[in-house]
Amino acid sequence: MTYKTFAAINVGSGEVSMKIYEISSKTGIREIDYVRYYIELGSDTYTKGYIEYDLVRELCDVLEGFSTKMEEYRVDSYLALGSSALIEASNCELIVDQIRVRTGLKVETIDNAQQRFLLLKSVARGMRNFQQLIDDGAAIVDMGSGSLQITIYDEGRLIYTQNLKLGSLRIREILADLEGQTDNFVNVMEDYIGNYIDTFSRLFMHERKVRHIIAVGEEMESIVKIIGSDGRKNHMERHAFDAVCGSVLAAGEEELSAKYSIPYELATVLKPAIIVYKKIIEISGAEKIWAAGCDLCDGMIVDYAERQEQIEPAHYFAEDIISYARTVAARYESNKEHTENVEKTALAIFDGIKKRAGLGQRDGILLQMACILHDCGKYVNMLGGTDYSCDIVRATEFVGLSEQEKSIIADTIKYNAWHYVPKLSELKAPLNRKNYIRMLKLAAILRLANGMDRSHRQKIRKVTTTFKEKELIIRADTIYDITLEQSTIENKSHFFEEIYGFKPVLRMKRR
């Protein structure tokens, strides 16, 4: 049996951790070592905006030790990711370079959506009842040291997701100066946190109730331990959580650490975490709270093993991305009949040309999202609606998409309305050359599909494609007069032809 070893390193806001795994196609994933070191990088970032070099030197010492341990295990591959404390530090690039020079490790910085996506992957694989919980209705509350991600599922579909700057360490550091100015610091934290959670509830919950809270983060695991010290289960009823809140919030950090055998560093951020969960439980009406028992390192190995085809995905998140795109489009009151028709037509053209055009499955997902979202900007202003659609895409967080992929979607929408092929230098947000070409190919397809519903009356219900010499023949199954659509495609064909090298021709196939 062939094994591979993989090391996952998380340079977090409150600690640096490494897990080493053994993976094989037969036995799956097995954790074989776990080391961690508490170092509060976030204390500097969240108060000063940068990380002092005493802490940087300490961080490099820790990572040197990790590198040595990786050599002992003869690790085949590794991934090291930096969290918000590193990403938001003004000297981030200098720190990453110093780590590389001193330890040989390459630390990558990824945006919040990608990081949360890895955590969702770890939750889906780590919790056997994940599908059942999201079918019932669940809020995945991913609380880190720097920020909080709330992701809502209803009937198995991702409804929305939102990031809030409410990490447990960030809250503690921001409010630290106020602690000595009041006799009831818990009230101060509740007021500060309540403002964010109440706004989230007003904008996104709309009286929606969820049955389950799936909590990601060490704080909730400690709370479960406090409530059920016999370790019988990984969840608690709401009344059990409510009962322990008062005693934890009234205790001091040293008392919490000693009484419940948790690290002091964790005890110092337990109170803000409890208040956050308490507020979320109140607005959601959740009946049960589950501790996911996984972290970012677990997400890294799941993603790696899936890409290496060592394991099958536990949940297909591509469907969640599409589902959330539909939620966003509905929020901005997009023309549902039109966008669905454009989506169906665009995907039919995509399937017909993808092999010849060098397009892959991921390109199909990005095209589908562009179709769903291309009309939402009209909610802001019907004049310049395309530009507003682009702005909405760029401003919305889609868990599972990188910033480059969001830019591909936004620019696909933007340039589907242009009469000529834009140069790379004309793009608003920088795309690398490979993604620039991908975007142009998708924009050309969207431009055709959009033109085939020029009247917004869905005259064409089905299309098929064939190639004839230098032409792409698109046969439209319809009973209507499509003179307007044929004229539109004729006018738009040069954009498509310049990109693909063959001319689209729309022909009618009467039923």
- For domain 128-291, the CATH architecture is 2-Layer Sandwich (3.30)
4-111+301-307 maps to CATH 3.30.420.40: yes
Q: Is 458 exposed, middle or buried (0-12, 13-18, 19+ CB in 10 A)?
A: middle
What pLDDT does 511 receive?
A: 53
Give the amino acid at 329.
Answer: A
For domain 317-510, the CATH class is mainly alpha
Query: pLDDT by residue for the chain (511 residues), tens digit each?
Result: 578 999 999 998 888 999 999 998 888 899 999 999 999 888 888 889 999 989 999 999 999 999 999 999 999 999 999 988 899 999 999 999 999 999 999 999 888 888 889 999 999 999 989 999 999 999 999 988 888 999 999 888 898 899 999 988 889 889 988 888 888 888 999 999 999 999 988 888 876 779 999 999 877 777 777 766 444 567 888 888 888 888 888 888 888 888 888 888 888 888 899 999 999 999 998 989 998 889 999 999 999 999 988 888 888 888 999 999 999 999 999 999 999 999 999 999 999 999 999 999 999 999 999 999 999 999 999 888 899 999 999 999 898 888 899 999 999 999 998 888 888 888 877 788 999 999 999 999 999 999 888 888 888 888 899 998 889 998 888 888 888 888 888 888 889 999 999 999 888 876 5
Helix ranges (DSSP H) in 315-432: 317-331, 336-357, 361-373, 385-395, 403-415
Tens digit of pLDDT for each residue in 53-86? Answer: 899 999 999 999 999 999 999 999 999 999 888 9
Segments making up each domain of the chain, as ranges:
4-111+301-307, 128-291, 317-510
Residues paired with residue 464 on neighbouring β-strands, in sequence order: 475
pTM: 0.86
What pLDDT does 228 receive?
A: 60
What pLDDT does 332 receive?
A: 94
Give the amino acid at 118.
Answer: L
List C-alpha distances in Å: 260 to 241, 255, 268. Answer: 16, 8, 13
* Torsion on CA atoms 260, 266, 271, 274, rounded to nearest 10: -80
How many CA atoms lie less than 13 Å away from 53 in the CB half-sphere? 2
What pLDDT does 152 receive?
A: 92
What pLDDT does 145 receive?
A: 84
What pLDDT does 452 receive?
A: 86
Q: For the residues of 231-274, what is the DSSP string, one character each?
A: ---SEEEHHHHHHHHHHHHHS-HHHHHHHHT--HHHHTTHHHHH
Which helix (H) or strand (E) segment is 200 a member of? helix 185-200
Residue corresponding to tokens 């904008």: 203
* Torsion on CA atoms 485, 367, 498, 424, rounded to nearest 10: 130
Residues in the chain: 511
What pLDDT does 230 receive?
A: 44
CA 324 from chain center: how many Å?
11
What pLDDT does 229 receive?
A: 46
Q: Which of 340, 329, 319, 406 is nearest to 348 (CA)?
A: 340
Q: Do domains 4-111+301-307 and 128-291 have the same CATH topology?
A: yes
Q: Tell how strand 148-154 and strand 157-164 pair up.
A: antiparallel
